[in-house]
Structure 1
Amino acid sequence: MRIAFFCVYVAFTLGANAVLLIPNVPAGVGRDNTLFVLSWIAMHGLSGLVVLTSKSVSKEGILRCLILGGAFTISSLWSVAPEASLQYGMMLLGNTVVAYVMVAELGTARTLSLVARLVTFLCGVGIVLYCFRFEPVMYLDNHERPNIFGMQPLRGLYPHKIMASLYAAVAFAISISMVKGSSRFFQCLILVTFVLLTGSSTGLILLGVAMVGVAIGKVSRRLGLGVHQLGTLIVVGLALLVPLAVSMLAAVATALDRDPTLTGRLPLWEWGFRAWLERPVLGWGFNAYFNSEYGEIISGQIDRFQNYAVPHFHNSLIQTSVDLGIWGAAVLVFVVVSVQFGGYMRFYNSEDPVGLAVFSLTTVLIAASTSMFIFFNYNHFGTFVLLLTYFGLLIDRGKLELPRARSRARPRVGDTEQPEAKA
């Protein structure tokens, strides 16, 4: 029963309840989300029972959850929209606790396997329903752009086709890292087919990023590159590639017949940077900017967003900086970097495929976060997976103790307890 609860909770973070409970209408048309809100209220209530009855949590773990998740709630004290910051901060706090409990009970390997299988299953169901033209799984594109097959795009049991392709890419990263044999082939076939049906070019790029992440992890280990060496190479590589990419952006966009402003993202990011500079230390409050009169101004100032209510800055680092200031951005960078290189360290020391999966999926999330708001975002799968891996790595390395009976049942994966990798 507890595994069933975790599956349903992950499905909620994926947005399956939104697809089933909110009418599928074009953007800008009013929608009744009463049932959706009630479903999350019920889920949070049930989560409390699951947490209170768990035998795998420790006081230290709950304290870490309260510190990490509570920081978002505390921002309501200086927020420009205190009610929104308190409400959404409490939701993210709940997500944080559930992520900790889930990975503490199931372990990192089993948790990631469950996540990949669930996403793949939902993608498969979405494809079947798409074949029967089930209206809720169809993506309503205001620009009437078809997918690669010339048909209406698929969103599946996810709220948006681009987010759907991100979730498929995360599952793809886990599958190619951890799954073997024919199971890997069929899982990847479902996921790739799903992304093609969404018509999301972002999704295709993220599938490539997942494979690049796996390749980097394997090649780096084979070359004997430690965490610091790999980190240095990545930083130097980004320092060289990012300016080059920015300088070529307009030319590439024109050649591909795409909007050189990245559908309005460039002026939106500039706006977000200026908003952060106005409150650089504490920020505007968690999820507050676009729930205040300040966020309402944007739609009238950027031509691309006329008659469209902009929900966020379409960049995780910018959004978190605006929400929580420099301290929130620092926490985000710390968590992401510790997860990615913690995964690589695990793979480097023991050739554990779980470590490779963590490294690869984090690479996907980082790439996606440059144009999407996926963390720190309440009730969002990207944030939830980041928290799962963060707590999972801490537990497996013995940095976060479990109750004695539980910890004896699971071996630790430490930095020095595993055999060194061969160069």
Structure 2
Amino acid sequence: MGRSFEILFTIGYLILYSGGVLALFLSGGYSEGDTGSLRDVDFALIRQLLLLNYAISFLLLLRRWQYVLQCLIRAPFIPIIVSLVMCSILWSSQADITQTRAISLLGTTIFGIYFGTRFSIKEQLNILATTFGIILFLSLVFAIALPGYGRMGGIHAGAWRGIYVHKNPFGQMMTLSSIIFLSLLTRKEKGSWKYLLGLAISALMIALSASSSSLVNLVTLTLIFVVLKVTLWPDRVMIPVIFSLSALGCVASLFVVDALEMVAGVFGKDLTLTGRTDIWPIVIRQGLQRPILGYGYSGFWGDWDSPGAAVWKEHGWLAPNAHSGFIDLWIQLGFVGAAIFLVGFLLVLFRGFHLSRRIHPSAYTWIIIYLIFTCLINSTESSLMNNNSLNWILLTSISISVMSYRDAPTQVEAIQSDSELRLDALHQAAD
């Protein structure tokens, strides 16, 4: 297949996996607080498109199966944890749901592997910039020309949501958009004005979305980015500083420091997250009943017959998840799954840190920022290993790219570098 097709295929599906456009249209512009529920919406079209994506991605991988296999051997925690997810069907509390979503996660992972093995880190960043440029444009059009779709009604009336069904996912995507354009700004290449424009619009969108956690995350990530790019501290100083800033960002997202009370007044809302943190002890207590392997992938939360119903009965809030990606990972896959994920995540983080400091500062700084972004959003939300999720796709592709990098490039990596130059030429022509 032609390279142009592969780029268009990738961009189109990155938008779909982000949750944009189609879900909003199919819901008819539903807002939280409206009559009915998103569970009543027929998303069959999206499921069919995703199945098509799984199939095409798998076929594209088969064309380069030897190189793909080499990459997976260098990043074994990806196939290992996905295999654990598939095996969890055997002990899941909701085997039917686990089977469906495990297969979906496998398909999502296949696309992530394709993205990570087909394109270099620099290419991935360029493609993401194009993708989020389209998302920004469409979100502006929806919010201004189609406010019934582009802005929230119901209990969040007036808040912008762009091409997404809710303001919070929109804010999360705008935070991701901001760090993508911020990473590209450091290249100091021709046409960098468009990255500055993308960053400015993304930040404005966060404010208009009234997503307070996204604002906290953006401030934290920007500060970490500045530390990474400006300071010349040795690793023994830099690493603790980065981890400390990340921890402070997580705490700020959870409890919201006093300095944000003014922001809360502007947004017209209370930033407290006590409803989320209150359920954590209850969820953990339930998890300790099956601590080793958990309740199975997507096997805890469900209906009133699911194990998660015990949390609802005790707390009184029908939480769809634990509002912590790390707790949800443990509750589903136990200490075994959590350990596999943690080891893999830290390996990628430290390897990425090494590459960002010594090999490719511009491209690989994006990796560090994205991994910290993953930690921040999963301190208050649950999107760590969600099926059909852009976050899991990027985590997979980044892991593959970082762990398969070699100082002396292989023949395939040389081919990737050549194709990267062609993609850069396309971007410059667009200027």
With the length of structure 2 as denominator, give the TM-score of the two structures.
Answer: 0.81
1:114 to 93, 109, 127: 127
Offset of residue 218 of structure 1: 2.3
For residues 376 and 162 of structure 1, the distance between their equivalents in structure 2, rounded to whole angstroms, comes to: 18
- 1:250-304, Cα deviation, whole Å (9 max, x unpaired): 978989686686151012222221122111110110111013522234334324x
Deviation at 1:351, TM superposition (A): 5.3
Cα 1:176–1:369, aligned 2, differ >3 Å: closer, same or farther? same
Offset of residue 410 of structure 1: 4.6
Change (3 A) 1:279 1:251: farther
Distance (whole Å) between structure 2 residues aligned to residue 234 and residue 251 of structure 1 = 23
5 Å-filtered alignment, 1:156-235, equals 156-179=162-185, 180=188, 181-220=192-231, 222-223=232-233, 225-226=234-235, 229-234=237-242
Matches within 5 A, 1:70-89: 70-89=83-102
* Cα pair 2:206 2:215 within 8 Å, conserved: yes
Match of 2:11 in 1: 7
Check whether the contact 1:54–1:101 (CA below 8 A) recurs between aligned residues: no
Can you list the C-alpha shifts for 1:356-409, whole angstroms capped at 9, x where unaligned? 11112222221111001111111111222111111111222369x9xx642343
Alignment match, 2:391: 382
Call closer, same or farther: CA 1:340–1:20 in 2, change over 3 Å. farther
1:360 equivalenced with 2:369 (yes/no)? yes
Match of 1:326 among 328, 335, 349: 335
| 1:113-132 correspondence to structure 2 within 5 Å | 113-132=126-145
Q: Is the aligned partner of 1:287 residue 2:298?
A: yes
Q: Identity across aligned pairs (percent)?
A: 19
Kindly provide the amino acid, as one letter, of the partner of residue 58 in structure 1: V
Name the amino acid aligned to 1:139: M
Residues 243 and 110 of structure 1: is their aligned pair in 2 closer, same or farther, counting only changes over 3 Å? Answer: closer
Secondary structure in structure 1 of the residue aligned to 2:308:
helix
What CA distance in whole angstroms lies between the structure 2 residues aligned with 1:247 and 1:357?
24
Paired residue total:
394
Cα distance change, pair 82–153 in 1 and its aligned pair in 2 (3 A): same
* CA deviation string 1:136-169 (max 9, x = no partner): 33223x4245xxxxxx112112232112111221
Which secondary structure does the structure 1 equivalent of 2:97 belong to?
helix
Cα gap change, 1:34 to 1:296, in 2 (>3 Å): farther
User: 1:184, CA displacement in angstroms?
Assistant: 1.9
Contact 2:220/2:245 (CA < 8 Å) preserved in 1? Answer: no
Q: Which residue of 2 aligns with 1:416?
A: none
- With over 3 angstroms needed to count, the CA separation of the structure-2 counterparts of 1:259 and 1:274, relative to structure 1, is farther
Segment of structure 1 superposing worse, 97-106 or 228-237: 228-237
Looking at structure 2, the residues matched to 210 and 327 of structure 1 have their Cα atoms a distance apart, in angstroms, of 30
Task: Give the drift of 1:197.
Answer: 1.9
Contact 2:143 2:150 in 1 (8 A): yes
Please give the residue correspondences for 1:376-415 in structure 2 after superposition, counting only pairs within 5 Å: 376-397=385-406, 405-410=411-416
| CA shift digits 1:115-137 (9 cap, x unpaired) | 13212321221112211134333
Instruction: Give structure 1 stretches of 5+ with no counterpart.
Output: 146-151, 413-423
Counterpart AA for 1:409: I
Q: Distance in 2 between matches of 1:370 and 1:169?
A: 15
**What residue in structure 2 maps to residue 22 of structure 1?**
27
Contact in 2 for aligned 1:283/1:322 (Cα 8 Å): yes
Note the alpha carbon deviations across 1:291-321, whole angstroms, 9 max, x for none: 3522234334324x2xxx4221110110001
Measured at CA, do residues 123 and 249 of structure 1 come closer, stay the same or move farther in structure 2, by a change above 3 Å?
Answer: closer
Once residues 233 and 409 of structure 1 are traced to their aligned partners in structure 2, the CA distance between those partners, rounded to angstroms, is 37
**1:320 counterpart SS class:** helix
CA drift of 1:236 comes to: 6.3
Q: Is 1:68–2:68 an aligned residue pair?
A: no
CA–CA separation in structure 1 for the residues paired with 2:24 and 2:253: 36
Secondary structure of the 1:154 match is coil
Determine helix, strand or coil for the equivalent of 1:218: helix
Q: Is the 8 A contact 1:120 1:187 kept in 2?
A: yes
CA distance change for structure 1 residues 254 and 139 in 2, over 3 Å: closer, same or farther? Answer: closer
Change (3 A) 1:123 1:242: closer
Tell which has more relative contact order, 1 or 2 (C-alpha 8 A, sep 6+).
2
Structure 1 residue 324: Cα displacement? 0.5
- Partner residue of 2:51? 41
Q: Could you tell me how far apart the structure 2 residues matched to 1:321 and 1:370 are?
A: 14
Deviation of the 1:355 alpha carbon: 1.4
RMSD: 3.1
Change (3 A) 1:32 1:52: same
Contact 1:120 1:191 (C-alpha < 8 Å) held by counterparts: no
Output one character per residue of 1:158-203: Cα deviation in whole Å (capped at 9) or x when no partner. Answer: 2321121112212211211223431221111221122122121122
User: For residues 192 and 234 of structure 1, do their structure 2 counterparts lie closer, same or farther at Cα, with a shift above 3 Å needed?
Assistant: closer
**In the alignment, which residue of structure 2 is the partner of 1:369?**
378
